[in-house]
Chains A and B, each alone.
Chain A
Amino acid sequence: GQNIDQPTEMTATEGAIVQINCTYQTSGFNGLFWYQQHAGEAPTFLSYNVLDGLEEKGRFSSFLSRSKGYSYLLLKELQMKDSASYLCAVRAGANNLFFGTGTRLTVIP
């Protein structure tokens, strides 16, 4: 089976940096995605990693280590609007996309 783990909740201060971790155990691996989902809204794509290393996109960066089955999403200069759930998803198996249960991030002033 597929197993994807993320912390359930995190709290961080406006202007700070926060790292959201994701570990996975899947049969096969064809890439890892991070999505942001605000309450009551659809998930929106943030990043995609298929090779080891860091992908930077503005205030957001995502890291992948395939040998460790590990990824993290790094959010810098946190803003109040970053309060949302962050979903880690792994494409594996028959190219299906498997999601973790998400990390609810609360940014406080």
Chain B
Amino acid sequence: KAGVTQTPRYLIKTRGQQVTLSCSPISGHRSVSWYQQTPGQGLQFLFEYFSETQRNKGNFPGRFSGRQFSNSRSEMNVSTLELGDSALYLCASSLELAVQETQYFGPGTRLLVL
């Protein structure tokens, strides 16, 4: 079974631009979560989608948004990019939206904002 895939793997943008990242979960998984990883802050939760609905949201500004499609694939969008948005963005999928579900991470998209 294929793992979680994310595209693109690397991205360079300039301040003020917007970016869309894509995540395809493991086949059969219905929940997709997004995280931002930076050296100083570690992994921080952005949001979780299940059945095309945002179920949980972390403490990030409204510039960060996402959506999930009927095939469980998810996209994350960041508008008006800032230098501090440079990070590794990780997507993780799990079977269901349950408290003890194990999440499986994709390889991430490394975003550099200049």
Point out residues on A near B: beta carbons under 8 Å: 30-31, 33, 35, 41-45, 48, 50, 87, 89, 91, 94-102
Contacts and interface: CB of A to CB of B under 8 A. Distances in A.
Most buried by A among B33, B45, B90: B45
Nearest to A85: B42
Nearest to B105: A42
Given A42-B108, A100-B42, A101-B40, 20 more contacts: A30-B100, A33-B102, A33-B103, A42-B4, A42-B90, A45-B103, A48-B100, A48-B102, A87-B42, A94-B56, A95-B97, A95-B99, A96-B48, A96-B56, A97-B33, A99-B44, A101-B41, A101-B42, A102-B42, A102-B43
B36 to A, nearest CB: 11
Interface of B: 4, 33, 35, 40-45, 48, 56, 58, 90, 97, 99-100, 102-108
Contacts of B48: 96
Contact of A45 (B42, B43, B104): B104
A97 B108 contact: no
Nearest to B108: A42
What are the 4 closest A-B residue pairs judged by CB atoms, nearest first?
A101-B42, A99-B43, A42-B105, A30-B99
Given A98-B45, A99-B42, A41 B99 contact: no
A44 B105 contact: yes
Contact of A96 (B45, B90, B102): B45
